[in-house]
Structure 1
């Protein structure tokens, strides 16, 4: 997760009818051999989101393997050979659309050693699909994926119980798995999830509702993806504007960046963090046009009534709901790097557009964090940071820890105030 540049929420495009088509970013997660590649392939195939030549290539490869029908897993398993060779696999992003919505799918590897890849993929997702093999039920990696979804505060979770055809489409097997997962979800503080019984191999409840599970009254997977509410940004949320660039026009200055939360209006009183100075907004530039108001996640330039000492990394806020200004940072983390993190390490912390020096004070009782470890961290920063709790804001509540020697990302953190 790159906390300094990632964005959450939706982007809108205008269709031929003039209506705005929104975008859902979602991530998939599943244990090895749970059928994730087949599920994604089935979703792309049945929603008519693949080209004819792609389907012909899959059909040809399947016939060469002695299969009578196209193996849809081949649509997404192009990296299987590299994975078997032990080469690090990054998140694969796939783009498709239906008449109702556009989708950005972060397809993450299933192995436990790729937990960090799931964190990367799910950090900007508004929905996560956790896949389970109906024959095996909830396994250790299922619990780990649920923990990541809870840690990252993914707004919506789908529990896709796959391979229902191999358990005779029995409702009791589905309900047993749902009840088991619900227990773990409650322990993790996962706010809720939507269970859907599917068979990716034959297409049951993936795009079309299945007649073989008439006991299930809910939506198909695609129907749920097309209709789940999207857009986590709230207009009435506290305004948070990290300054990315200072633009000078002679004696005048404007401050450019992305408004990551809330809204700003001409005439608003703003506070500059960490200095505590205040001023009034006299102008907002939106894509080269003057505007009276801006909303997250728009990129804007702001002019103030007073010439303040403001630089990259400062944050402008409005109202009384101010961020916590602190040098003591406590957070839940996922360690991303192969190099372990230890107490006493001197690091850099990048929060929004601000980068400060810091020292690792504690690791929640652990002696070190290794790649893919989930844990907790205490940091002491050389300069104060304006932080929100991650549960309140996935942008201003996130940060990354960087190796000062080579600039490599070490750890992704979620602030706990």
Structure 2
């Protein structure tokens, strides 16, 4: 286990060492893990005890250094089936005790080799508990990981103050418009699968890729939907040309306040009363389209163990989450959406986080639109929120024009529960 440094000179670090440098000047020494070099990003912590491959390949982590709070990472290796996108997206990776070898019949190779192959700079042997407590108290911030040649300049050790200056020169996450950096370059189609394979689609969905995970269109296709996954830059005419029964906005990285195109596009969808479902970033975009603000959380919610209450059923769900921003909407009674002098009618906060009362979902009462702040596709994560995909299908096929239709799995629990 490494120890924290306080202004310790880089020259004192041993061969194979790495240095984690925070924007506030705090530093931690450890061992190089994955690729060697320098990397920068917003440092965040993930509380999941499993699902590290899905985390690494989640585009929502673009430009972020991820700290795993679970102490032992890598024991199941990596495989060709569990990735949620075409590549690893994290900027850097921080773990305490990396597995010395992969131990799973599904493994195609070890985690550290995958990090090296994709150029992901990491650090191990860090006191991740102390680091996480610091980020909980001080808030997430910019950071850098340095190892190998990045610790020297012309053969001489680089002063820690210079490394801190490098970190502080990195653009902050606030104000970052990143969807265009992670979206698909062209439209592709996911056809109905499972019991619906080869059948006529139950609905046609246009899914805006803001950083979509591969399991999400798969969950829609499992329910018989034909899913057109489209680039984030698409316009309303292109959306309408696909004749959708519903529109879906995915998860993704960045500050929703910077996503003006996506907000404008969603308003075009809402104006036409096309049923809408958004998750994570898509929830924040709906909030802004309705006229609510968004704000940056101190340290966000990241992991597969986040408790959320569905206020319409009082059911508590354990959810998978990855977000650093939240919607600023009034909890409690229904309110009129602020944008456009009430053109979108009434809206309620449908879900709240039980750890901190953060808004975790919105439901429109006069137009067919709803959203949640978490990841119901359960990759990785629990299946508690799978009913939301059924709710979306019900919304597209019910024809009632509101977001109030409940699926059978979303009904209120009995008193015995």
State the TM-score, normalizing by the size of structure 1. 0.28
Larger proportion of strand: 1
Larger proportion of helix: 2
The structure with the largest alpha-carbon Rg is 1
State the TM-score, normalizing by the size of structure 2. 0.28
